[in-house]
Amino acid sequence: MDEQQLNNLLVKVSFLAVYQLSNGSEDPFSVQESIEHNSYTRPILTPVQILDIKNISDSEKEIRFALSPDYLSTNIDLVMEYELHQLIWIFKLPKYDNGKNEVVVDDEEGQISIRSEEGVVEWLIRGTVEILNVSDLSYKLDLETLYHTVIKN
């Protein structure tokens, strides 16, 4: 596995964790409130745990993740061989686009103002990952194996 593959996997894992944290809400304000509500706790969202949350603005967040104790104990062989306990990353959520940029369209009855607000899924997909700590041994782990233990279980 290379750094880009690990990065892509961590984006998916982070996306799913935030989605789970908000109970799958499609309302951006509910998702933001769920994140802010957990700013001072360290919830475990199998297979990851939130270490801390930095609230940059109402919608801009930086969430620091690590693999959860549950994951580490269940997959102890992989953890010991590939030093997965050292893996820490930040999931950076950009500013939510609430459609302030209005488009005025002319139709038969006059002008219509349209806002193009993005959805929660689109917002979470735009999130990026910055890997803070990873062992060189972790890159020797087969991507498919890591995927099946992190995403599939």
The 10s digit of each residue's pLDDT in 53-76 is: 999 988 899 999 999 999 999 999
User: 119 pLDDT band (50/70/90 cuts)?
Assistant: confident
Collect all residues with Cβ–Cβ distance below 8 Å to 11 and sequence separation of at least 6. 91, 127, 128, 129
Domain count within the chain: 1
Residue 57 confidence (pLDDT): 87
Q: Which domain holds residue 92?
A: 3-152
HSE-up of residue 146 (Cα within 13 Å, Cβ side): 24
Strand residues in 16-150 grouped as ranges (E)? 44-45, 48-55, 61-67, 88-93, 102-107, 110-115, 128-133
